[in-house]
Amino acid sequence: MPDPATYRPAPGSIPVEPGVYRFRDPHGRVIYVGKAKSLRSRLTSYFADVASLHPRTRQMVTTAAKVEWTVVTTEVEALQLEYNWIKEFDPRFNVRYRDDKTYPVLAVTLGEEYPRLMVYRGPRRKGVRYFGPYSHAWAIRETLDLLTRVFPARTCSAGVFKRHNQIGRPCLLGYIDKCSAPCVGRVSAEQHRQIVDDFCDFLAGKTDRLVRNLEKEMTAAADELDFERAARLRDDVSALRRALEKQAVVFGDGTDADVVAFADDELEAAVQVFHVRGGRVRGQRGWIVEKSDDPGDSGEARLVEQFLTQFYGEQAELGTAADEATNPVPREVLVPVPAGQRRPVDRLAVRPARVAGGAEGGAPRRQAGPGRNRAAQRQRGAAATQAEAGRRLHR
């Protein structure tokens, strides 16, 4: 095991400016990346009294064989560089948030000639727009069942699409008008993409305009005595309203925001994110992280900072957010929500907490071990204390 004294830099050689530092093991692998307002002050703290360090930090320092640093101009640059290095090197001693479960999302494959709507689990891909995440896959299928009567976009796989294109007949969804059947040329690629764009606009919160347009078309059809078309449009409006009723309104002013709830104890931290678009909750997701023993990495402010950097950094690289095609990173600042300004979303936070703890209805869950129980408790804490620990990220 390397002796920290063998690679300890002379205090006078360490810059006082902000920057990012890397610890490497004897094989040259990066095992820890950190940032500091003052590199000298931060790095000196690792070597002042190794025996007094927290066990995990002491293990990192005694495992390392070298430390190096890069000076930057501002703390913002340090934060960006730290994120890039953590992603590049995946250091074993760095905190990384992990999903407490694999949430399904509604994916729209905008990169294809005929975009497809589908339930999806897995890593995010470029050229695909995501809505959610949802707590259950059936919730996505129910949403699709309601909305495809209004926005009859393709939902079939590439194989099914190709087969029906070859035989020249649409599938059952095409016959019941829940698909515009682009596979047989019933609509052009441009017309189908417009259908998909309207679908995305609706889920992104631009609901009032779409409903008003349908109501105008319905009135016009009735004036022209085309009562059959007017009846179809009436049913379409009803379907859209039913879809809206399934999404809780938490901001009456139509706010777009990510509401972040945070809770922690001495072992773990938990985060719940509610994606609110057009004042309605469009998705919810949770993360768990095992805390480092280093106070500099385990304080609430630092953990929240690391989470937001990881969450929005990954979205920015993909060029897509959970339900936005562009501008995934918020343009406005992170601000606390005072207890006196609680909104309905504070009460809503309790429900996903029950899901995390297994108390919600649905399929039985396997018996949780001690680690899983502790993670569920952290998730319950994150949701239940949202009013006190919540943050709003305005877009």
> Is residue 191 predicted with pLDDT exceeding 90?
yes
The answer on 171 and 129 residing in a single domain is: yes
Kindly state whether residue 251 falls inside one of the protein's structural domains.
no
Structural domain boundaries, residue 338: 257-394
Kindly state whether residue 333 falls inside one of the protein's structural domains.
yes
The answer on 200 and 83 residing in a single domain is: no
The CA distance from 78 to 55, in Å, is: 26
The answer on 111 and 216 residing in a single domain is: yes
Kindly state whether residue 294 falls inside one of the protein's structural domains.
yes
- Domain end, chosen from 62, 94, 126, is at 94
The answer on 219 and 160 residing in a single domain is: yes
pLDDT at 189: 93
pLDDT at 314: 62
pLDDT at 390: 38
Kindly state whether residue 99 falls inside one of the protein's structural domains.
no
The predicted model scores a pTM of 0.46
pLDDT at 291: 63
Percent of the chain's residues with pLDDT above 70: 66
Lowest mean pLDDT among 52-61, 190-199, 250-259, 361-370: 361-370
Kindly state whether residue 250 falls inside one of the protein's structural domains.
no
> Is residue 374 predicted with pLDDT exceeding 50?
no
pLDDT at 171: 92
Lowest mean pLDDT among 156-160, 250-254, 275-279, 297-301: 250-254
Kindly state whether residue 62 falls inside one of the protein's structural domains.
yes
> Is residue 381 predicted with pLDDT exceeding 60?
no
The answer on 261 and 387 residing in a single domain is: yes
Q: Indicate the average pLDDT of the chain.
A: 73
Which range among 172-186, 272-286, 343-357 has the greatest average pLDDT? Answer: 172-186
The answer on 131 and 196 residing in a single domain is: yes
Lowest mean pLDDT among 45-49, 125-129, 355-359, 380-384: 355-359
Tell me the residue type at 204: A
User: Which residue has better confidence, 59 or 330?
Assistant: 59
User: Which residue has better confidence, 2 or 366?
Assistant: 2
- Domain end, chosen from 75, 94, 113, is at 94
The answer on 203 and 160 residing in a single domain is: yes
The answer on 111 and 80 residing in a single domain is: no
The enclosing domain of 85 has a CATH number of 3.40.1440.10
Kindly state whether residue 252 falls inside one of the protein's structural domains.
no
Kindly state whether residue 356 falls inside one of the protein's structural domains.
yes
The answer on 206 and 131 residing in a single domain is: yes
Dump pLDDT digits (tens) for 79-91. 878 877 887 888 8
CB 79 within 8 A of CB 304: no
Tally of domains in the chain: 3
Dump pLDDT digits (tens) for 281-334. 666 777 777 666 555 555 677 777 777 777 777 665 555 444 444 445 555 545
The answer on 234 and 111 residing in a single domain is: yes
The answer on 378 and 319 residing in a single domain is: yes
Lowest mean pLDDT among 2-11, 47-56, 343-352: 343-352
Dump pLDDT digits (tens) for 101-122. 556 888 999 999 999 999 988 8
The answer on 304 and 220 residing in a single domain is: no
Owner of token pair 């709830």 = 261
Lowest mean pLDDT among 51-55, 280-284, 374-378: 374-378
- Domain end, chosen from 204, 225, 245, is at 245
User: Which residue has better confidence, 84 or 381?
Assistant: 84
> Is residue 158 predicted with pLDDT exceeding 50?
yes
